[in-house]
Structure 1
Amino acid sequence: MTQRMMTGRELSQLGQASTRMASAQEQMTTGKKLSRPSDGPADTTVALKARAGVDQQAQFTRNANDGQAWLQTIDSALQGANTQITRAYTLALQGANTATNGQTAENALADEIDQIKQGLLATANSQYLGRPVFGGTTAGGSAFAQVGVTDASGNPVLDADGNQVQQVQYVGDGGSVSRRVGADTVVRVDSDGQSVFGSTADGTSIFDALDKLSAALRSSDSDGIQAGIQAMQDARTRISGAAADEGARMNQITAASNVASDNTLALKTVQSNVEDIDIAEATINLETQTTAYNAALAAISKTSQQSLLDYLA
């Protein structure tokens, strides 16, 4: 073997040793086994899939958090509505004693019923991030609104004081707001206002019932007051059903959120296994490659120091 060939081979080996040492140094510096696809094509495929899975689970978690916020808003609104309707029920029971209350007391009860109606209207228009939680997908800021009542000819209907009669109407839509919280799990996060508070279209809403109860109290209409008592009982039952439905959906989202958290942990473990180095192993590898490089460097150094006399000896 000629001197040139020997030198060429040694330089090639030195270059390979340098490359291996540089790779070991890069791994120690970055903490990653995979810096580019060529470092491990098969592992790169696994890592990319794991990263995509982590991103997907993170989105499910964000959706779940948003859905929980919607449902928490609904839960608070339903609790408030139940408190208000229960108070109206109590007032209706008091108003049933028309023979002993006197009209002044009945009027005072009616005034409080009117106040409860306004408070309940505000509750029914509860919002999350500017969107009414009982209004479906409406672009407006309210699920219910007070509008002036007109007759068949379009003329305003006036009360005893000459003011146009106001009636609560549903101004939301029939749409629903949903959040995908899992690969196969989509949960509705709003509540249908007319299912919760009754239909304003056919006059069976809680607002209509409160109007009728107020009018019955002012006129000492015993039958009307009894009807109001029953209407308040029905409304409380409806609210309780809505609360149970909201609770079930909250549980579904919570369970899905827990699954997303578990999946994220599992995927990050897979990602770490194929991407991250083992510090102890990487340290030993770097020391080994550094030693090999220094040995190759020393060997080529000796070869380059030979003279013509070394070959004539």
Structure 2
Amino acid sequence: MHFQASALTPGLSPRHAYGAMIRLHREAANMSPAALGDIIGYSRVQVSRLETAQRSIPPDLPPKLDAAFGTGGLFVMLYELVKNDVFPDFVRRFMDLEAKAVRMRKYEAATVPGLLQTREYALALLRAGQINATDEKINEDLDARMRRQIVLARQLPPHLLILLDEAVLRRPVGGARVMAKQLAHLLTVGKSPRVLVQVVPFSHGAHGIMGGSMTLLTMDDNRQYAYLEGSHTGQLIEDVSTVADYELSYDLLRASALTRDASAAMIRAAQEEYEACETPPT
């Protein structure tokens, strides 16, 4: 049966343009989708889905494409434009700034911030939040979330100040084993001199930013941004006076948070409780 190629729409997004480039070079090399798939380790259907932007671009694919087409790094270079294309438009501008920030201050009301999530914890969150998504879509989003953590592996990573509501520790995302591992990771990361993790205990009561999560970004030229996030929405704020108001709210809340050591002790106690849940009775 003759294979009918799907129409391309390169103007819709960077990922659509990337897919169109794959087909352009494949056809110029007189390769069928199956032939290209044999070279890069994909099926004919998977190649078609890449060309029509029905799936995201895996990070190991661009060098394989350059090797297949002899394009000398073109697809690796263009990958930088599309690697965040799985995220909604309202997130991308924030992520561009986050990757360049020299200081981040975060308040998280319900979950561990994405930059510090373990893979298992992130997977549990994605599954809970995307009940109709395919496993492939969830895994694509998971890989994208994990890639964001590269900002902490920079030669000079940003200073990261994190306030966690106590609810973050108490809600067993993914079950006891996943939570124990996640809290252990928090304790390890929290030992870095460039990372400060503090807990806002339930006993503090109401505060000005308890309705959602917030990130404050400081750039190397001292520009400030605030990013407010809900479960499916986000808002980037650039107005100087409005950002200053959120900074004040953050500083007031941080003044009531537990110290670094007291926070670590609470996290460790919660971790031990989850570990005890894992241990079968003797």
Specify the TM-score bucket, using the shorter chain as the normaliser. under 0.3
Higher RCO, 1 vs 2 (CA within 8 Å, ≥6 residues apart) = 1
Structure having the higher strand fraction is 2
Q: If you compute each CA radius of gyration, which structure gives the higher value, 1 or 2?
A: 1
TM-score normalised to the size of structure 1? Answer: 0.19
TM-score, normalised relative to structure 2: 0.21
